[in-house]
């Protein structure tokens, strides 16, 4: 697939914009770039490599000649249009949750299971959930060395995970509070300014949210660990960008903090920042607009055998979405 024709579906959204930037910044060897969005965004002009590209209206017949279609327009759009793109001969890389648990659709984090890109009978590849990607970037090197058994995680998810409206809601609420005016939350079920909300996505019958169960089901599929045990609590925090995750991971074999740090050496996409004597540990501001995830606060767990506690942070719009999708395209 030399100099492919690449299409971005949902080109004017937050992830779509970062897809364009990633393709340019990484010098992706495409021959042509086409941009698609809903009719209300059609006609907008985007800049790519110094040239203007006009955004076109997304329809079922726009994929002729497209080699790779990067979808970032939501699950409903993916379900409706991704099969048309695949039928036209494109390989679809989808950022939504629409196809992640389909047995005929590989779910890929290139640093972990790049080999899965070759098995795509539906012509579709799924990008995992952003929090799952960030967490597994820290866990995969440890699994390789010590054998992962279980995960207990709490996430601290930025408002940009809800799109631009999440940022606007946080800003509006902060402004209202400082000015002493009233407001009514609309994006989130509770006030997000100066607060944290232990609900990301909808609750299911077992009391977990859909977001929390993604860590379980997607983690098992990506790591090829059908018996992996996961318990997760997802929390929305008043941070603009970059998700953080506190993880207790239990392993098959004995593990120490020093051995874990050594396991990260030479692994792409993950950087150890772990010097508590100098207050060096990952924080969202340090990972915002950065490709690599960062891991720190690595220490022996005091409850479980063969277990570690760690803290991992990553930009959920980049590695959690756009960058991961472009890396998959690079594999193709």
Q: Which active-site residues does the annotation give?
A: 130, 243
Token pair in block for residue 91: 């390989």
Do the beta carbons of residue 130 and residue 154 sit within 8 Å? no
Sheet with 5-9: strands ordered across:
56-57, 32-37, 5-9, 68-71, 91-94, 124-126
Using DSSP, state whether 238 is helix, strand or coil: coil
How many angstroms separate the CA atoms of 89 and 124, rounded? 11
Do the beta carbons of residue 242 and residue 315 sit within 8 Å? yes
* Adjacent-strand bridge partners of 47: 52
Locate all alpha helices (DSSP H) within the chain, ordered by sequence.
14-25, 75-87, 110-113, 130-146, 164-179, 210-223, 257-263, 284-287, 323-331
Query: Residues 91, 97, 101, 104: what is their CA dihedral angle, to the nearest 10 degrees?
Result: -10
Q: Which candidate, 208, 205, 163, places its Cα nearest to that of 186? A: 163
Do the beta carbons of residue 9 and residue 308 sit within 8 Å? no
Token pair in block for residue 115: 């080999």
């Amino acid at each position: 697939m030399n100099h492919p024709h690449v299409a971005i579906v949902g080109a004017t959204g937050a992830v779509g914009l970062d897809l364009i930037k990633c393709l340019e910044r990484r010098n992706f060897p495409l021959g042509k770039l086409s941009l698609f969005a809903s009719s209300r965004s059609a006609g907008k002009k985007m800049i790519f490599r110094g040239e203007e590209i006009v955004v076109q209206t997304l329809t079922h017949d726009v994929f002729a000649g497209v080699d790779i279609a990067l979808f970032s327009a939501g699950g409903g759009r993916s379900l409706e249009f991704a099969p048309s793109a695949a039928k036209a001969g494109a390989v679809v890389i989808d950022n939504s949750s629409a196809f992640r648990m389909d047995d005929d659709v590989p779910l890929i984090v290139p640093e972990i299971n790049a080999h899965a890109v070759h098995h795509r009978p539906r012509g579709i590849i799924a990008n995992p959930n952003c929090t799952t990607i960030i967490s597994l970037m820290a866990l995969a090197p440890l699994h390789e060395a010590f054998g992962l058994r279980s995960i207990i995680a709490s996430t601290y998810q930025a408002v940009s995970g809800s799109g631009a409206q999440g940022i606007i809601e946080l800003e509006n609420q902060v402004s209202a509070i400082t000015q002493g005016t009233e407001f009514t939350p609309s994006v989130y079920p509770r006030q997000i300014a100066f607060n944290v909300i232990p609900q990301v996505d909808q609750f299911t019958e077992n009391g977990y949210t859909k977001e929390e169960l993604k860590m379980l089901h997607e983690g098992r599929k990506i790591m090829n660990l059908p018996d992996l045990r996961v318990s997760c609590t997802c929390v929305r925090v008043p941070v603009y960008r970059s998700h953080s995750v506190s993880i207790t991971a239990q392993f098959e074999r004995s593990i120490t903090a020093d051995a874990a740090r050594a396991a990260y050496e030479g692994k792409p996409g993950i950087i150890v920042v772990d010097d508590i004597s100098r207050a060096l540990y990952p924080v969202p501001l340090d990972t915002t607009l950065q490709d690599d995830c960062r891991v720190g606060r690595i220490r022996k767990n005091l409850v479980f055998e063969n277990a570690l506690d760690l803290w991992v942070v990553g930009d959920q719009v980049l590695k959690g979405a756009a960058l991961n999708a472009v890396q998959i395209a690079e594999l193709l």
